[in-house]
Amino acid sequence: MAGKTITKERSTPIETREIGKTGLRVTTLGLGGAALGGLYSDVTQDMATDSLNRALELGVRYFDTAPQYGFGKSETYIGNALQGVNRNDFVISTKIGRILEPVKGERKKSYIDDIFKNLPEVTFRFDYTRDGTLRSIEDSMKRLQVDKLDIVLIHDPNEQWHDYKTMIEGAYPALAELRSQGVIKAIGCGLDFAENSLPFMRDGDFDCFLIAGRYTLLEQPALIDAMPTMEKKGISVIIGGPYNSGVLASDLSTNIKYHYLDAPYHVLAKARRMKAVCDRYNVPLKAAALQFGLVHPIVAATIPGARTGTEMEDNVRMVNHPIPVDMWNELKHEDLLPEEAPTPTG
């Protein structure tokens, strides 16, 4: 496939970084696909196509998705939007662990219905077996309309932690085998709790971990145990949810989400104190949120969502917005960031 022409409008290209020791490089700013699955509000194919097209025009080349995001909608939208683009011009990561199946009879409601809107008549079941992993990959490739995947992640094992043995004896060997064959370039886990990476690092050879909402401007539990071990092993981090599900991208007034729920008062209070510091330096809180994680030496990318091309443009502006070193120092002085958190020094 020759691929359609991609217009580059930015004078400063988005930096790329390597995933682990794989040779695979991703743009430091990516596009998280949860929003394209209808997170909080419905998204149409036209909106998703607008977002992907604008991302490509602005130099963003890394897209993350998962079967769970809108029960296949995110993968399908991304696949449709990328038709005609040379496959070697972008990187895709998706996830295994949830098999999508047509509904037989009335679909049983789940927690997904509280998060994603306008879901199709599809249900899911957890499956971390070898066969389930291979089927999930095949299904994802069909929805994405691609003949290869770059990064495949074991999705949110916390929900089925009792089945860890199956993950490490079923899913992991299947992924490792595909990696050794060159079918997949990198493997890892997508985690809501960073400490869950520790047994995986003990029992397997992983290239990256996507940590959602646990190494952000607002909170850094991953900094204590998980990330030092990853750094020693040469494992990369991909930051999911850099806005903490919306808090750091909002006006901090009302109806603010934090990890898919209404933000509690203490979270809003801390975010407002951070915003006050940012305001003194004329820096948008969103810019600080996106740039904070990228300073850490093992972070390869940050992947905020974007429902439209306009939101994608805003993310690019925020990741490039100049931030004085003194602002980071003041955030630490005000005990809003830990001293040990890497921040720019000059």
Q: Residue type at 15?
A: E
Pick from 321, 307, 320: nearest CA to 52: 307
Nearest to 94 by CA among 77, 109, 106: 77
Clarify whether 243 is annotated catalytic. no
Residues contacting 267, CB < 8 A, separation 6+: 218, 244, 247, 258
CB 270 within 8 A of CB 248: no
Name the active-site residue from 62, 73, 77, 95: 95
| 95 catalytically annotated | yes
Phi then psi for residue 216, to 5 deg, are -135, 175
Please give the distance of CA 320 from its chain centroid, rounded to a whole number: 19
For residue 332, give every residue at least 6 positions away whose Cβ sits within 8 Å of its Cβ, in sequence order, or none.
338, 339, 341, 343
Q: What is the dihedral of CA 7, 29, 233, 163, to 10 degrees?
A: -110
d(Cα 285, Cα 29) in Å, to the nearest integer?
Answer: 17
Active-site residue 42, yes or no?
Answer: no
How far, in Å, CA of 189 to CA of 172, rounded? 10
User: Which of 62, 69, 77, 128 does the annotation list as catalytic?
Assistant: 69
List 50, 64, 127, 139, catalytic entry: 64
Residues serving a catalytic function are 64, 69, 95
